[in-house]
Amino acid sequence: MEALERLNYSGEFSPLRDRMIAELEDVNTLCLTYRSRIYRYALLSLKDPDLAETITQDCFLKAFNARKDFRGDCSVATWLTRIATNLIRDCTRSRKFQFWKTANSSAVEAGDIADRLRSPGISPESFLVVREQLVKVWDAVATLPDKQRSVFVLRFVEDMELPEIAIAMGLHVGTVKSHLHRGLAAVRKAMERTR
């Protein structure tokens, strides 16, 4: 895979890999370091805080149990993101999730998110404009297909590089770029509607 070649973490007995495996052994430190990141990714993918918490815990449990299988060909964060991606995919495929998605009882509305936005130092008029833009952009991202939205979140919220996203999602870098272009196009359209 192209992404694997570009990321030079490899080397079976490298000190870097040993350090990463040691990091995986200490599950408490692992949670402290990466919990917010994994939780955020799950939350933005599922829009459900309880489910996101469950996914986060399952992710660390799986990572700990499979720590011997970690080859060190990517960072720990990327590896955890990959595990979380698989868990989120399994969760969204389940019939139970589909039911609750349809019922939409716990899904967070864009307006709720916009109301919580703290923007100190700007006028109320400007805040209203920003709020409206956020609602549009949030809805636009929410309506993206699952993979496109995940790629968008990993790039623009988690600041991951394209090869890292490719590893985490199990995609080619070209596919990741294509997804990101579609996501940005959706954001552009949303922004144009607010003008």
Per the CB < 8 A criterion, the answer to whether 48 and 107 are in contact is yes
Query: Any idea what DSSP says for residue 67?
Result: G
Q: Does 106 bind other proteins (CB under 8 A)?
A: no
Per the CB < 8 A criterion, the answer to whether 110 and 139 are in contact is yes
Task: Closer to other proteins by CB, 55 or 141: give it.
Answer: 141
Q: Does 59 bind other proteins (CB under 8 A)?
A: no
**Residue bearing tokens 């992404």:** 3
Cβ contacts of residue 84 below 8 Å, gap of 6+? 38, 41, 42, 55, 56, 59
When binding is defined by CB under 8 A, the residue of 13, 28, 121, 124 that contacts other proteins is 28
Structure tokens that stand for 92 in this block: 């969204």
Task: Closer to other proteins by CB, 95 or 105: give it.
Answer: 105
Binding positions for other proteins, rule: CB under 8 A: 27-28, 31, 35-36, 39-40, 43-44, 49, 52-53, 57, 60-61, 64-65, 108, 113-114, 116-118, 130, 133-134, 137-138, 141, 153, 155-157, 162, 177, 180-181, 184-185, 187-188, 190-191
